[in-house]
Chain A
Amino acid sequence: MSVFHRFWDSDFAWDFRHSPVAVVSFLVALLLVLSALFAPLIATINPFEPGNLNLMNGFTAPGTQNAFTGESFILGTDDQGRDVYSTILYGMRISLFVGFAAVALGMLIGVTLGLVAGYFGGWTDAIIMRIADVQLTFPSILVAMLIFGVAKGFTPVEYRDQLAIWVLILSIGLSDWVQFARVVRGATLVEKQKEYVQAARLIGRGAMPILVRHILPNVLSPVLVIATISLALAIIAEATLSFLGVGAPSTQPSLGTLIRIGQNYLFSGEWWILFFPSATLLALALSVNLLGDWLRDALNPKLK
């Protein structure tokens, strides 16, 4: 039996096939991720190349012909004549990149600290978990804002716009490591009592190989669940920060920045500049969120 067949017959895959919510949200998320990935191929133009823009095209409504140039755009254009459809594709790239990178960073920090805290216990554990408790007292969006503000202060003014994306990743990543650390620590505490760990210790393996080769693979499934839910939260956090003007700059707009720009035209009737980025963000966050919910139930039936 091939690997594919084995996977198709597994409980996990059966569960997936029989959950319409999971299938639909998976397809939506996949479509959005792929279109962000291949944005340069399917976008009509690169909207962030100033040479491609024609200001005369500004404020063209979706599906109508521009009065001056005669061009038409499927989702309309914004104030600078950028094709909204293309800005969304490129904006989603940045949203997803920041989301994935921030979760990866949070996961790396959280899993490492969780393993160390759970395995070594004692003072190490007390200090790490105390820091986690303090951080958990504050909502993570506030922590992210604060880290963003501090990091912005450290970067020289002339590099601020270029580095904004990395600062954003850093601030969201640092604000969500706690969830990973708590879960991994709990799982490690259970795993380290088990016989295979004792056997590994008995034959003289060091702490590092035991943690990485033996314990880590056994604590990964809850990490996967948290990572998916964190991804939805990170995408929303990124959009929120960018919307508030403390995230992705307008030269490298994410979905949140696009919504921020679109909000300016809410009263003048150019609804499409705001509506399409918002709908995309919603579809993205909702599908990843529902997928995470399903994953949690599928991987851990006890939680149902």
Chain B
Amino acid sequence: MLSYIFRRILQSILVLLVVGLVAFAMFTFIGDPIDNMLGQERTQDDIDRLRGELGLDQPFVVQYVKFILSALQGNFGVSYEQGRPVAQILAERAPATLELAAVSAVFALSLGVVLGVYTAIRRKGFVANLVLTLSLIGVSLPTFLIGILLIYLFSVQLDWLPSFGRGETVALGGWTTGFLTSSGLTALILPSITLGLYQMTLIMRLVRSEMMEVMRQDYIRFARARGLPERVITFRHALKNTMVPVITVTGLQLGSLIAFAIITETVFQWPGMGLLFINAIQFVDIPVMAAYLMLISVMFVGINLIVDLLYVAIDPRLRT
């Protein structure tokens, strides 16, 4: 048990170091940062001085260790495009992405569970079949088309909801939030539906199949025989037992929610980290790309690690 946890943590650290190496290799081998940072009128002296200041004249391994150490302290270098520290830019953008991902996760989880339970109970109903068919079409649609479709419907045709940006935000310390203004809240609706739709259908299908499995169990039949109302059986007895896989999948999907936010943020011009990353790719802004890569790998690896450890905690059979 202890050795498993230890091995798993070691593995995660190794993965992060490899990702760090990839990020660092991007710095070293792609283009010359000196070219990007100094203008046309540079002298050889300027180049040598900056090379020394940035430590680019040192051996590869030394630079790599330095890179990892400074990344650990939250120092990812200076953006080639904006000329400001990457950590500062990311910190400005992070609230937008995290709020969007959080609202999408809540949307996906709540609607997914409700629709999953409904389609499992009314298995032959017309509405249930309609929901299932629509979800199949929804999954086949690329995310960006869903976003455009929603914009067309609710912004262009009906003119109910804003089609881009975060609306008005309120600054709370270093955190900007859109939760406190009405324009901020309405701006969240379309992007979070776009982002959460895929996860919602995933959770719905999972809850549905788990519920159908559980409803066949003996203890449900006994609960019915005892004369308990159907509502109590469904929610207190059956649903509770479907929650373990649902929570696991939701946890694992949190990471991809943040990754797929790249697409949603571009469609809705949402000023988050994903939009920053896309712009960084277009401008070949290596420090921003590398920092985003490292940040997102920490999230992914961390989430995977936590889910794996939770498995061990929940399922005694894995404790060998």
A residues with a Cβ closer than 8 A to B are 134, 137-139, 141-142, 145-146, 148-150, 152-154, 236, 239-240, 243-246, 259, 263, 266-267, 271, 274, 278, 281-282, 285-286, 289
Q: How far is the CA of A137 from the CA of B299 in the complex (A)?
A: 11
**Residue in A134, A148, A266, A278 whose CB lies within 8 Å of B18:** A134
**Residue in B148, B152, B289, B301 whose CB lies within 8 Å of A259:** B148
Using an 8 Å CB-CB cutoff, how does the interface string of B128-166 with A read, 1 for contact, 0 for none? 000000000000111111001001100010000001000
Q: CB-CB < 8 A to B267: which residues of A?
A: 263
- A240–B297 CB distance below 8 A: no
A48 to chain B, nearest CB (A): 22
- A289–B140 CB distance below 8 A: yes
- Report, as a range, how many residues of chain B touch the other chain: 35 or more
B290 to chain A, nearest CB (A): 10
Q: CB-CB < 8 A to A271: which residues of B?
A: 152
- A244–B284 CB distance below 8 A: no
Q: How far is the CA of A267 from the CA of B163 in the complex (A)?
A: 10
Q: CB-CB < 8 A to A244: which residues of B?
A: 144, 262-263, 266, 278
Q: Which among B18, B29, B30, B280 has the greatest number of chain A C-beta atoms within 10 A?
A: B30
- B140–A285 CB distance below 8 A: yes
Q: CB-CB < 8 A to B289: which residues of A?
A: 146, 149
| Chain B binding surface SS class | helix
Given contacts A149-B289, A267-B156, A281-B145, A154 and B30 within 8 Å (CB-CB): yes
Q: Which among A150, A246, A263, A274 has the greatest number of chain B C-beta atoms within 10 A?
A: A150
- Within B262-305, which residues are at the interface with A (CB < 8 Å)? 262-263, 266-267, 277-278, 280-282, 284, 286, 289, 293, 296-297, 300-301, 304
- B140–A137 CB distance below 8 A: no
Q: How far is the CA of A286 from the CA of B139 in the complex (A)?
A: 10
- A141–B260 CB distance below 8 A: yes
Q: CB-CB < 8 A to A239: which residues of B?
A: 142, 144
Q: How far is the CA of A145 from the CA of B274 in the complex (A)?
A: 11
A153's nearest neighbour on chain B, judged by CB, is B30
Given contacts A259-B144, A266-B148, A289-B140, A245 and B156 within 8 Å (CB-CB): no
Say if the beta carbon of B259 comes within 8 Å of chain A.
Answer: yes
**Residue in A149, A243, A263, A286 whose CB lies within 8 Å of B140:** A286
A143's nearest neighbour on chain B, judged by CB, is B259
- Within B162-217, which residues are at the interface with A (CB < 8 Å)? 163
Q: CB-CB < 8 A to A243: which residues of B?
A: 144, 263, 266
- A153–B156 CB distance below 8 A: no
Q: CB-CB < 8 A to A152: which residues of B?
A: 281, 284
- B259–A266 CB distance below 8 A: no
Say if the beta carbon of B31 comes within 8 Å of chain A.
Answer: yes
- B145–A259 CB distance below 8 A: yes
Q: CB-CB < 8 A to B140: which residues of A?
A: 282, 285-286, 289
